[in-house]
Amino acid sequence: MVDDVPLRTAVHTVWSLYPARHRDVDAADTRRCLLERHLQGRWEARVSDAEELTGFGLAYLERPPEDEC
C-alpha cells in the first residue's frame, strides 16, 4: 500500500494558504482540482516530501494553466 499522507498533507496545506492570500478564491474553486492533479503528478514522479510538494503547489497556483478540471 502506498503512503500518500505527504501528498494529502501538501494539498491541504496549499489549499489552506492560497485562499487566505487570495480573498476572491472560494472553497469550491476549480483550481483545487488542478492543484490536486499537479501534485499527484509530482508525487508519481517520486517527490515524496510534504514540504517540497507544498512548495510546488504554491508555485503552481501562482501560475495556473488555462485548462479546467
pLDDT at 18: 93
Grid cell 517540497 is found at 52
Q: Say yes or no to pLDDT of 68 above 90.
A: no
Cβ atoms within 10 Å of 18's Cβ, excluding its own? 19
What Cα–Cα distance (Å) separates residue 9 from each residue in 14, 65, 68? 9, 23, 23
pLDDT digits (tens, 9 = 90+) for 34-55: 999 999 999 999 888 999 999 9
Say which residue the cell 494529502 belongs to.
8
Grid cell, residue 54, equals: 507544498
Look up the pTM and report it: 0.83
Q: What is the per-residue pLDDT for 7?
A: 94
pLDDT at 27: 80
Give the model confidence (pLDDT) of 8-23 as tens digits: 999 999 999 999 898 9
Separation CA 16–CA 63 (nearest Å): 17
